[in-house]
């Protein structure tokens, strides 16, 4: 399990065009940063969106290195062949580092409107 000294892996859902170009737009590279969009089809809801993001991040970053702080893992360019599961199990990947999840995809309109917090 991770400790306070571990770095955080940042996982984001973004609109499809931005998710595709995320690394080149802001220079934030895998495995420390990972962005994808909501899956095609009907809205998944926040729980389904989180599950989709976690699975896509595992598929996209597990083989490249789990610890985001590892400089050598940030510069690896090998890609996992499509259709094959990562060498690392989902459970091992999930427990190897802390994950910060931010949902900001185009499906955010399906969420109920938020109220401005009073007396904060």
Q: What is the mean pLDDT of residues 107-114?
A: 48
* pLDDT digit string, tens, across residues 64-104: 544 433 333 333 333 444 556 688 899 999 998 999 999 88
What are 107's two structure tokens? 């499906």
Do the bridges between strand 33-36 and strand 98-103 make them parallel or antiparallel, or are there none, so unpaired?
Answer: unpaired
What are 94's two structure tokens? 């999930």
Tell me if residue 63 falls in helix, strand or coil: helix
* pLDDT digit string, tens, across residues 20-56: 999 898 788 888 999 999 888 888 787 888 999 999 9
C-beta of residue 19 within 8 angstroms of C-beta of residue 111: no
């Amino acid at each position: 399990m991770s400790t306070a000294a571990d770095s955080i892996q940042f996982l984001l859902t973004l609109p499809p065009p931005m998710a595709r170009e995320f690394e080149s737009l802001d220079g934030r590279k895998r495995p420390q940063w990972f962005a994808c969009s909501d899956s095609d089809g009907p809205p998944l809801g926040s729980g389904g969106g989180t599950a989709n993001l976690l699975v896509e991040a595992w598929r996209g970053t597990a083989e490249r290195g789990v610890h985001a702080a590892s400089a050598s893992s940030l510069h690896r360019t090998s890609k996992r062949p499509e259709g094959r599961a990562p060498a690392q199990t989902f459970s091992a990947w999930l427990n190897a580092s802390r994950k910060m999840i931010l949902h900001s995809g185009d499906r955010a309109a399906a969420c109920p409107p938020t109220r401005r917090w009073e007396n904060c």
